[in-house]
Structure 1
Amino acid sequence: MSLLAIGLSHRTAPVALLERVAVSGDALVKLLHDVNADTHVAETMIVSTCNRVEIYTEVDRFHGGVTAVTAMLAAHSGVPQDQLTPHLYVHYEDQVVEHLFTVACGLDAMVVGEGQILGQVRQSLRLAQEQGTAGTILNELAQQALRVGKRAHSETDIDRAGASLVGVGLSLAEGVLGPLAGRRALVVGAGSMSALSAATLVRAGVTDIVVANRTFERAARLARGIGGRAVELADVEAELSGADIVISCIGAGGVVIGADMVARAERRGPLFLLDLALPHDVDPGVRALPGVTLVDLESMQEAGLGRTGAEGDAARAADAARAIVAEEVGDFLRAERAARVTPTVVALRAMAADVVEAELGRLVTRLPEIDPRMRGEITQTVQRVVDKLLHEPTVRVKRLAASPAGDHYAEALRELFALDPKVPEAVTRAGAAEVETGPAGEEEA
């Protein structure tokens, strides 16, 4: 089985296409199960955010996996495959590890250093675990990606390599409205991006914040945390009248703030709307209204925000994070390759244990007069001899297996000793024997 990742992001596709492909809620669960049900796929995890849709799988064949995953992504999104394929990227084996680690560190974000992706990868893994589509391989990969992302954020200044999408948006708001302190803001949505938006508004000096959400309890919880006020989603139009800044982050698949709603609002001055949702929450038609400015993901993308290389300290922070990714990818791949030889080593020890058992049984049959104490001494001596003979080859093959061509060493071992590492009884018995009788302090599988 091999790792395969297929996706598209702000780097390869326009926002309009990302908007059509993005999945959430029940649609995400269905795509997760449909991909995992394919005969070529053993495990599946999907990362679907405002800026990317990526399907991570463990497959038995590269071409079969690519064909199946691409076809299902096209079918679920309603985008014809010939229109979707030019925007897709495909990563295989080592490339998958490097890509996910890079994403988790915020190095592939629209704004370099964006930390929101860590929580999104965590949510993607949790969903795959809950739905039973993530097995050992993807669990280990995603868990390590989360650890690498945390390390990059704690050991480097990658967080400062670029402002968050919210920070970029509010900088644009200041250009339109002037200083934000004392302004009134309306936050539509109560998810993680909305919470980040509200916290950023507070840091900017905005003290009058209203939170609207479909689930009032979630809106109230967020509002309490920032000293704001919660309202029902149906009250958004009424709240537009007093707002200077509106940040919307629901992405519910339909317009939440229509041009007609904004036109009817009795505004006291300029209105700045920041739409961070995918699909769009705000009707692009509001741009035609006097005194209204709308910034959304598409306009950020077109302006190239976060896509130009940072300089000075920011560039050094990004380089440091990339160095961490390179180091962690190497460590992960070496450990993963070494783990592949474990069943072969276990099968070798099982074969040796069977030989010892058979020969000792033959000895007892031929010399029944041997007393129990002597029999025990003979048994321990023979086992020690076998363990010492096997120890150095097994340690070496584990070490050699960590190299890029490591599979060849395990294959050679299987051929030389006619081993079958898939026999479950052998794996169970020899695995226990290796733990119990292996030389103390030596390298383990």
Structure 2
Amino acid sequence: MLICLTASHRNASFDLLERLSIGAPAAASHLVTDSDVLDGAVVLATCNRFEAYLDIAGDDEVAVRATVEAVSAASELQADEVLDSVQVLGGGDVVQHLFAVSSGLESVVVGETEISGQVRRALEDARRNGTTTSELERLFQEAAHTSRGVKTRTRIGAAGRSLVRLGLELASSRITDWAATRVLLVGTGSYAATTIAALRDRDAEQIQVFSPSGRAPWFAAKHDLVAATDLRTAIGSSDVVITCTSSEVPVVEACDLDDGARRIVIDLGLPRNVHPDAADVEGVELLDLETISIHAPIAELNAETEARAIVDDAVSRFRAQALEQSTTPALVALRKHVFDILDDEIDRVKRRGDTTPESAEQTERALRHLVGVLLHRPSVRARELGRAGRGDDFTGALDALFGVRPEPVADVPSAVVPLAERAARVRDDEADAS
């Protein structure tokens, strides 16, 4: 059974989300190995949400408590504090929620483009940790498919919405000419590349980049920027500082900004890249994620309505497929039972030796065709019963009539990535790069 623990900008403080973003991913690999009630787990931790998608084999309350205790300990938080801030979803609500999240419909900025990649990377991390299951794989793959449908069939992301662009929009009310504005970018990850694209859309030309990890020269050469080697010097020659590193401690301190110059600092990091005391420095205007989220625009109603309709359709299909597949193990058991009988009978005829090889072959073809015809109607009926939520009726009937019981279904190894998903991922990466 699938359940989801979710805490976001809607029901949790940014301080709590910041702490969870540090510790929760590290705890993910231990959630399954250290628990008797969890078969699998995928943890999604972004700048404005923490979510744990769990495939549980035991009591859901025990699973929730075990998960909360694990991520709380890893994040140095009190378990009760985290438990009070998370919402627990079960059944079809899990599907609805992830499909909406992956499509950008639950983000601070509705329609943001980064979330689908973050969801995809959460699944990849779970695969590396060996914590996925076939149910979680199917859920996340269908979520990715749904987000692509929303992206291509609606205009909800047409403006390239993201926290990066919203932060720049807020800064633009103070900046009259981006082309003449000196910008320092601190960070060289995927968010940094998104930031550069957003800056250049505003005609920003004077962009330096600094990397705490020393990757600035490589990143600057790739994006035609100027690499900065000293952070304080680079800040001193900038009008706007934008931070987006994965550092778990502040990279920019208040003392780095105390030169008396007027400066806008946009902190896109979670955990924070800029120490909160920077907001008290004279001349500095600090826009952090919490400030930016307060100014998130109201969604374009038509585009969001269309997107939610696509999500609802995808959820309905997912549920129907899940119900149909509930009878698959019983169908496999029935076919095995019937074909084992058929094979035994064919072997008996061949051993008797009173027919020619040609006659025996014709008889075998006829019998196999007959069995296929006989199995067709039960197969159709099984899917019908599954869609109607009566899969157990079919399984019980097989047991009552033939003593046939389905075997447990083994999970697909987490390292196996379907070819179709690999192709879709390549298309997504190419679209992101463009």
Distance 1:226 1:364, change over 3 A: closer
| Residue of structure 1 aligned with 2:256, choices 255, 258, 261 | 261
- Residue 139 of structure 1 deviates from its aligned partner by 2.0
| Residue of structure 1 aligned with 2:361, choices 376, 380, 383 | 376
Name the structure 1 match of 2:374: 389
CA distance in 1, matches of 2:365, 2:228: 76
Which amino acid in 2 is paired with 1:189? G
SS in 2 for 1:159: coil
CA distance in 1, matches of 2:22, 2:15: 14
Check whether the contact 1:161–1:318 (CA below 8 A) recurs between aligned residues: no
CA distance in 1, matches of 2:112, 2:397: 46
In the superposition, the TM-score normalised over structure 1's length comes to: 0.85
Distance 1:401 1:259, change over 3 A: same
- Residue 5 of structure 1 deviates from its aligned partner by 1.5
Q: Which moved more, 1:89-98 or 1:182-191?
A: 89-98
- Residue 342 of structure 1 deviates from its aligned partner by 1.5
| Residue of structure 2 aligned with 1:229, choices 207, 226, 229 | 226
Gaps of 5+ in 2: 410-434
Name the structure 2 match of 1:409: 394
Which amino acid in 1 is paired with 2:298? G
Name the structure 2 match of 1:3: 2
| Residue of structure 2 aligned with 1:130, choices 128, 140, 149 | 128
- Residue 106 of structure 1 deviates from its aligned partner by 0.4
Gaps of 5+ in 1: 425-445
Which amino acid in 1 is paired with 2:28? L
| Residue of structure 1 aligned with 2:43, choices 20, 43, 46 | 46
CA distance in 2, matches of 1:95, 1:157: 25
Name the structure 2 match of 1:287: 279
Map 1:352-363 onto structure 2 (within 5 A): 352-360=338-346
CA distance in 2, matches of 1:179, 1:68: 53
Name the structure 2 match of 1:398: 383
Could you list the per-position Cα deviations for residues 275-334 of structure 1 after superposition, in whole angstroms to 9, with x for gaps in the alignment?
111111111212222211001112234x3x22x633xxx211111111111111111222
- Residue 201 of structure 1 deviates from its aligned partner by 1.1
- Residue 162 of structure 1 deviates from its aligned partner by 8.1
CA distance in 1, matches of 2:234, 2:68: 43
SS in 2 for 1:272: strand
Name the structure 1 match of 2:52: 55
Check whether the contact 1:249–1:276 (CA below 8 A) recurs between aligned residues: yes
Name the structure 2 match of 1:98: 96
- Residue 178 of structure 1 deviates from its aligned partner by 3.1
Q: Does 1:241 align with 2:239?
A: no
- Residue 355 of structure 1 deviates from its aligned partner by 2.2
Could you list the per-position Cα deviations for residues 377-396 of structure 1 after superposition, in whole angstroms to 9, with x for gaps in the alignment?
33333333222122111122
- Residue 408 of structure 1 deviates from its aligned partner by 3.9
SS in 1 for 2:208: strand
CA distance in 1, matches of 2:104, 2:350: 66
CA distance in 1, matches of 2:75, 2:408: 43
Check whether the contact 1:183–1:206 (CA below 8 A) recurs between aligned residues: yes
When the two structures are aligned, how many residues end up with a matched partner?
Answer: 408
- Residue 376 of structure 1 deviates from its aligned partner by 3.3
Name the structure 2 match of 1:139: 137
Return structure 1 stretches of 4+ with deviation > 6 angstroms: none
Map 1:19-168 onto structure 2 (within 5 A): 19-23=18-22, 28=25, 30-37=26-33, 38-61=35-58, 62-160=60-158, 163-168=161-166
CA distance in 2, matches of 1:222, 1:261: 23
Which amino acid in 1 is paired with 2:154? T
Could you list the per-position Cα deviations for residues 413-438 of structure 1 after superposition, in whole angstroms to 9, with x for gaps in the alignment?
444432222179xxxxxxxxxxxxxx
SS in 1 for 2:203: coil
Name the structure 1 match of 2:197: 199
Give the share of equivalent positions with the same residue, in percent: 31
Check whether the contact 1:44–1:128 (CA below 8 A) recurs between aligned residues: yes
Check whether the contact 1:36–1:44 (CA below 8 A) recurs between aligned residues: yes
SS in 1 for 2:228: strand
Check whether the contact 1:195–1:222 (CA below 8 A) recurs between aligned residues: no
Name the structure 1 match of 2:15: 16
CA distance in 2, matches of 1:409, 1:176: 67
Could you list the per-position Cα deviations for residues 210-264 of structure 1 after superposition, in whole angstroms to 9, with x for gaps in the alignment?
11112333x33432344211124xx11111111111111114121111111111x
- Residue 362 of structure 1 deviates from its aligned partner by 5.3
Which amino acid in 2 is paired with 1:101? F
Distance 1:408 1:208, change over 3 A: farther
